[in-house]
Amino acid sequence: MKQKHSIEKYLFTVPVIIYSFLLILLPLLYVLLISFFKSDSYGGMIYTFTLSNYAEIFNITYIRIFLKSIGIALITTVICLFIAYPFAISLMSKKETTRNLLIKLVMVPFLMNSLIRTYGWIVLLRKNGIINSALIGTGIINSPLSLMYNNLGIIIGMVYTLLPFMILPVYSAVSKVDPNLVEASYDLGASKIKTFTKIYLPLTISGAFNGSLMVFIPAIGYFFITDILGGGKIMIIGNLIKNQFLTARNWPFGAAISIFLILMTLILVKIYKQLGGKMDDLGGM
Amino acid sequence: MDNVIVRLENITKKFDDKTILKNISLDIYEGEFITFLGPSGCGKTTLLRIISGLEEATEGKVYIEGEDVTNEIPAKRKVNTIFQNFALFPHMTVWDNINFGLKMHKVPEDEATKRIKRAIKLVQLDGFENRYPAQLSGGQQQRVAIARGIVMNHKVLLLDESLCSLDLKLKREMQGELKKLQKKLGITFIYVTHDQDEALTMSDRIVIINKGNIEQLDTPKEIYSKPKTAFAADFIGESNIIKTEITHINDDIAYIKLTDDVELAVPNNNYKKGKVTLIVRPENFNPHKNPVKESFEGVVKNYMYDGAVVKLEVEVGDKLIKVHLYDNDVFEEGEVINIDIDKNKVIIIGDKNEAEA
Amino acid sequence: MNKGKWIKNLTIILTFIFLYAPIIILVVYSFNQSKMNVVFTGFTFKWYKTLMHNTDLLEAFRNTLIIAGVSTVTSTIIGTISALGLYKYNFPMKKLVNGLIYIPIVIPEIVLGISLLSVYTIANLQLGMPSLIISHIAFSIPFVITSVRSTLNLLPKEYEEAAYDLGANKFNVFTKVTLPLIMPGVISGATLALTLSMDDVVISYFTAGPGSNTLPLQIYSIIKTGITPDVNALSTIMLVATIIVLTTSAIYQSRKIARRGY
């Protein structure tokens, strides 16, 4: 077709160019720049080139935080997978209209403020909370269990907050598996576990990785969950960055950690794409 | 009937480095049903889109009603397209779909109402005005698409494989209806299809397109009985296409080799000695139980009953030829039969001037 | 087979108990007499009345509504335009732009938060409502773009061609054909943007300033000292409101589908 579209072309493309450069590229490049500066002891920056911020990451204190953070994120991801798969596969036994309704119901709790929901867990988990009261009341235990202000509390909070990001892509992938394949597998005498590992898993791997990505990456940064359910004693990378920017005011070091996180994210995304994942499927709710 | 309504002059279309259409010139007349026929990827749809303005020719000119519209946008061209998938706007009712073009051309409301009602009547969709496309059957959607096109009162309607998404029975029905509608409206239909049956039954003229070239432009009857190229013969109807040679010519009679042992004598039509392509329609071979004049023998290899016609595959020497039979003679597989030929109906194409039109 | 079905139902039920337990607790305790959320001592509406006088909370709520409203409208418009632009046109650095828009979706929010904070600082932008709104627009646009783009990818190009063929100009093709047809993607993108904005803690935490407390930030600041039941009351009201809006739109949507058949 005769395309004389100079004006609309600008109208439709200039905003996204400005947006992506001004609000995405520029801030990130600036963070990259800061990460090579020195910090002074008054929370300012000295504009000289240094790699010391990156070197500092390898300080044993920070390596511990990194390992802890990645450990929590990994456990969170694995638990989410262990909830999402059985849930998604169980859902497939329902009629399509029921399934659609139930998937919507998965989303409803997430319309409530995430901090309030996290607070709901405090009410459930604390020493004099509902779970402990119930267990003591029924005589199962004598003294209250420590369900929060420790790793357990953090992981419960993370799993709870991030679970829908796992359920949705996993369900969407599972629902695309041809039911005939599953039946054929049972027909040929495969066990449930075999059917899962040989049929479901290979066919839904990119959905599972999509979900894992959307759980693992935020789990590294969600400082408010460690703050609330970890009682401020436990630090993950998110808390570390937050402190460097707002409390310790060592921006260059905080920036270096951020760059480190970006690199990690990009590597994970690369793997996702190699598994056949599509970028547009990420983060869709 | 003799007024040129669409004229294409030396149309060439290139996508990147690929040439889709090569130097095509064509006159299309007022009131005719013309079909662009060819295999998929031959360029027929691109040619249609060049007429509608949805595609731009790399070279050449397009005239509609005598006006040079080569550089005009689709909206300014007095033609409308019926798309293969109908492209009915799913968020609009039948009425609003048909009204869309009229609204865009700012046709006054009372006139628009009259025209829409007439169009709806013509395609027999009375009572469906307030339905949405998704609530209609394939055939009904097709009618809406046609109504949306004809309501514009242009003298040319372009139809892109418009029947191919319908099932066979409905397709046959719609073929008849389309033809009737075209007669009734008296406008030009330019129809694109890869279906030779469709082309033969509906068209006044057929343009056979292959690899971006016009292979032949003729009436269905001419194309069927006198294909000018092996491609045309093969694409329209069934044919025996045999690469062979004329061994000698004796005044009025040319002798053409069928196999090493069998030679056919056909009326000489300015043929020359040498390599040729022999084309014989299966119904122009006549099988007999007993030898007749100038018959040759063959062995029935395959016998297929197909309702009105019996299709034989007969081995003659090293060749397997297709023979169609319309009476009730019964032949068996393995039987030796005698075949003669309708001499006046064989087609011989000299090897060098195969592309000659 | 029966046993299998029973296990499947149990799996579904347990998952839903996990998802809904904290919510139900909060809703129930918004009607609890006792201020210490432990034992249910009696039904009351008093926290809903207290809420009316909790000016800090209401102020934060108002800010959240303003930020969510402005950022959703803006990011939906820019995101839709961008999706169309990226879909239809080629321009220099398109590949780079296409890659950049995924970054806010994949990188940890905290990184986006500190990077925005950093540029606001060099740009000398006072932290407050404007910086919050810009930040929320920044992280919402990519979600709108991907949502609209997924609808666009499913849209046959013949609709637009048919409109041009019937004499529509570019403006009419856009307003009468393209836009109505991509509307489902636009709406789901806008819903996503609204939800993300209303709930955002991390990015707001870095880009808010004095006098621009949002509801999540306000709750964050009081959560450790213990939340008063009027916060539960506000959350309950918000939850009910969202459910009503979603149900009505679902009913409207299904009626429309029933009417149009698509």
Question: What CATH code is carried by the domain that includes residue C173?
Answer: 1.10.3720.10
pLDDT of residue C113: 95
Residue B317 is given by DSSP the state T
Could C111 and A258 be called an inter-chain contact, meaning their C-beta atoms sit closer than 8 Å? yes
Collect all residues with Cβ–Cβ distance below 8 Å to A173 and sequence separation of at least 6: A203, A204, A206, A207, A208, A210
Residue A4 — pLDDT band, cuts 50, 70, 90? low
Q: Parallel, antiparallel, or unpaired for β B156-160 and B188-193? A: parallel
Pairwise CA distance, residues B22 & B354, whole Å: 18
Average pLDDT, chain A: 88
C183 lies in a domain?
A: yes
Section A234-260 average pLDDT: 92
Lowest average pLDDT, out of A264-273, B61-70, B104-113, C246-255, goes to C246-255
Asked if B212 contacts B22 with a C-beta cutoff of 8 angstroms, the reply is: yes
Q: Minimal Cα–Cα distance from A78 to chain C, Å?
A: 15
Q: How many domains does chain C have?
A: 1
CATH of the domain at A207: 1.10.3720.10
Q: Identify the residue among B15, B61, B69, B73 best suited for mutation to test binding to A, counting A beta carbons within 10 A and taking the highest.
A: B73
Asked if C259 contacts B131 with a C-beta cutoff of 8 angstroms, the reply is: no
**Distance between the two ends of chain B, CA-based, in angstroms?**
23
Could A1 and B54 be called an inter-chain contact, meaning their C-beta atoms sit closer than 8 Å? yes
Cα A282 to Cα A169, B101, C196: the distances in Å are 8, 40, 15
Residue C2 — pLDDT band, cuts 50, 70, 90? low
Q: Minimal Cα–Cα distance from C169 to chain B, Å?
A: 8
Which residues 237-256 of C are in CB contact (within 8 Å) with A?
A: 238-239, 242-243, 246, 250
Could A16 and C23 be called an inter-chain contact, meaning their C-beta atoms sit closer than 8 Å? no
Measured between beta carbons, the chain B residues lying within 8 angstroms of C158 are: 83-85, 87
Predicted confidence (pLDDT) at residue B352 exceeds the cutoff of 80: no
Collect all residues with Cβ–Cβ distance below 8 Å to B191 and sequence separation of at least 6: B33, B34, B35, B36, B159, B162, B178, B198, B199, B202, B203
Q: What is the pLDDT of residues B135-152, one digit of tens each?
A: 998 889 999 999 999 999
Asked if A234 contacts A67 with a C-beta cutoff of 8 angstroms, the reply is: no
Measured between beta carbons, the chain A residues lying within 8 angstroms of B56 are: 1-2
Backbone angles phi, psi at B258, to 5 degrees: -100, -50
C144 lies in a domain?
A: yes
Does residue C172 belong to the interface with chain A, where contact is any CB pair within 8 Å?
A: no
C20 lies in a domain?
A: no
The tokens describing C37, both together, are 């959320």
Q: Minimal Cα–Cα distance from C100 to chain A, Å?
A: 6
Does residue A8 belong to the interface with chain B, where contact is any CB pair within 8 Å?
A: no
Lowest average pLDDT, out of A130-144, A233-247, C26-40, C232-246, goes to C26-40
Measured between beta carbons, the chain C residues lying within 8 angstroms of B83 are: 158, 161-162
The H or E element spanning position B254 is strand B253-257
Measured between beta carbons, the chain A residues lying within 8 angstroms of B53 are: 1-2
C17 lies in a domain?
A: no
* Residue carrying structure tokens 């004389």: A4
Q: What is the pLDDT of residues C110-158, one digit of tens each?
A: 999 999 999 999 999 999 999 999 999 999 999 999 999 999 999 999 9
Residue A283 — pLDDT band, cuts 50, 70, 90? low
Q: Residue A4's closest chain B neighbor by CA?
A: B73
Pairwise CA distance, residues B251 & B268, whole Å: 7
Does residue A104 belong to the interface with chain B, where contact is any CB pair within 8 Å?
A: no
Query: Which amino acid is present at B244?
Result: T
pLDDT of residue B348: 87
pLDDT of residue A141: 86
DSSP track, B119-187: HHHHTT-TT-TT--GGGS-HHHHHHHHHHHHHTT--SEEEEESTTTTS-HHHHHHHHHHHHHHHHHHT-
* Residue carrying structure tokens 């209209």: A97
Residue B208: Cβ-neighbour burial (10 angstroms; 0-12, 13-18, 19+)? buried
Pairwise CA distance, residues A246 & A248, whole Å: 6
Pairwise CA distance, residues A216 & A209, whole Å: 10
Q: What is the pLDDT of residues C216-236, one digit of tens each?
A: 998 888 887 777 888 888 888
A23 lies in a domain?
A: no
C19 lies in a domain?
A: no
SS (H, E, C) B256-307: EECCCCCEEEEECCCCCCEEEEEEECHHHEEEECCCCCCCEEEEEEEEEEEC
Q: What is the pLDDT of residues B314-343, one digit of tens each?
A: 998 888 899 988 776 778 888 888 998 888
Q: Residue A27's closest chain C neighbor by CA?
A: C115
A255 lies in a domain?
A: yes
More confident residue, B11 or B170: B11
pLDDT of residue B328: 65
pLDDT of residue B355: 38
* Residue carrying structure tokens 């930030």: C217
Could A113 and C219 be called an inter-chain contact, meaning their C-beta atoms sit closer than 8 Å? yes
C203 lies in a domain?
A: yes
Does residue C109 belong to the interface with chain A, where contact is any CB pair within 8 Å?
A: yes
Average pLDDT, chain B: 89
Does residue B3 belong to the interface with chain C, where contact is any CB pair within 8 Å?
A: no
pLDDT of residue A122: 87
pLDDT of residue B2: 67
Classify A63 as helix, strand or coil. Answer: helix
Could C167 and B104 be called an inter-chain contact, meaning their C-beta atoms sit closer than 8 Å? yes
Classify A149 as helix, strand or coil. Answer: coil
A151 lies in a domain?
A: yes
Query: Could you tell me which residues are beta bridge partners of residue B249?
Result: B254
Q: How many domains does chain A have?
A: 1
Predicted confidence (pLDDT) at residue A177 exceeds the cutoff of 90: no
Domain containing C204 equals: 55-260
The H or E element spanning position C260 is helix C229-260
Pairwise CA distance, residues A270 & A263, whole Å: 11
The tokens describing C42, both together, are 């009696």
Does residue B237 belong to the interface with chain C, where contact is any CB pair within 8 Å?
A: no
More confident residue, B352 or A192: A192
- Give percent of chain C above pLDDT 70: 97
Does residue A2 belong to the interface with chain B, where contact is any CB pair within 8 Å?
A: yes
Print burial letters for A118-131: b (CB count within 10 Å at least 16), e (below 16).
bbbbbbbbbeebbb
Section A201-212 average pLDDT: 89
Residue B114 — pLDDT band, cuts 50, 70, 90? very high
Q: Minimal Cα–Cα distance from B58 to chain A, Å?
A: 11
Predicted confidence (pLDDT) at residue A3 exceeds the cutoff of 80: no
Could C25 and A283 be called an inter-chain contact, meaning their C-beta atoms sit closer than 8 Å? no
Predicted confidence (pLDDT) at residue B51 exceeds the cutoff of 70: yes
Residue A45: Cβ-neighbour burial (10 angstroms; 0-12, 13-18, 19+)? middle
Q: Minimal Cα–Cα distance from B56 to chain A, Å?
A: 5
- Give percent of chain A above pLDDT 70: 97
Collect all residues with Cβ–Cβ distance below 8 Å to A99 and sequence separation of at least 6: A91, A92, A175
Which of A1, A90, A119 is facing C227, going by the closest CB pair?
A: A119
Backbone φ/ψ region at B10: left (φ over 0), alpha (ψ -120 to 50), beta: left
Residue B268 — pLDDT band, cuts 50, 70, 90? confident
pLDDT of residue B82: 93
Measured between beta carbons, the chain B residues lying within 8 angstroms of C162 are: 81, 83, 87-89, 148
**Quick count: other Cβ atoms within 10 Å of Cβ C174?**
17
C9 lies in a domain?
A: no
Classify C12 as helix, strand or coil. Answer: helix
Classify A50 as helix, strand or coil. Answer: coil
Residue B357 — pLDDT band, cuts 50, 70, 90? very low
Q: Minimal Cα–Cα distance from C253 to chain B, Å?
A: 13
Residue A218 — pLDDT band, cuts 50, 70, 90? very high
Cα B79 to Cα B65, B113, B191, B233, C169: the distances in Å are 10, 21, 13, 32, 16
Collect all residues with Cβ–Cβ distance below 8 Å to A102 and sequence separation of at least 6: A91, A94, C12
C107 lies in a domain?
A: yes
Does residue C15 belong to the interface with chain A, where contact is any CB pair within 8 Å?
A: yes
Q: Tell me what ipTM this predicted complex has.
A: 0.88
The tokens describing C149, both together, are 């783009």
Does residue B87 belong to the interface with chain C, where contact is any CB pair within 8 Å?
A: yes
pLDDT of residue A1: 46
A87 lies in a domain?
A: yes
The H or E element spanning position B117 is helix B109-122
Asked if C204 contacts C63 with a C-beta cutoff of 8 angstroms, the reply is: no
Which residues 65-84 of B are in CB contact (within 8 Å) with A?
A: 71-74
Pairwise CA distance, residues C105 & B27, whole Å: 56
Q: What is the pLDDT of residues A116-171, one digit of tens each?
A: 888 889 888 888 888 888 888 888 888 888 888 899 999 999 999 999 999 999 99
More confident residue, A88 or B249: A88
Q: Parallel, antiparallel, or unpaired for β B59-64 and B4-15? A: antiparallel
A17 lies in a domain?
A: no
Average pLDDT, chain C: 90
pLDDT of residue C260: 78
The tokens describing B304, both together, are 């297929």
Asked if B144 contacts B136 with a C-beta cutoff of 8 angstroms, the reply is: yes
Section B258-262 average pLDDT: 84
Measured between beta carbons, the chain C residues lying within 8 angstroms of A245 are: 114, 117, 206
Query: Which amino acid is present at A186?
Result: Y
Q: What is the pLDDT of residues A44-63, one digit of tens each?
A: 888 888 899 999 999 999 99
Asked if B281 contacts B267 with a C-beta cutoff of 8 angstroms, the reply is: no
Residue A64 — pLDDT band, cuts 50, 70, 90? very high
Q: Parallel, antiparallel, or unpaired for β B205-210 and B213-218? A: antiparallel
Q: Identify the residue among B69, B73, B94, B100 best suited for mutation to test binding to C, counting C beta carbons within 10 A and taking the highest.
A: B100
Which of B87, B133, B134 is facing C161, going by the closest CB pair?
A: B87
Domain containing A187 equals: 52-283
More confident residue, A62 or A113: A62
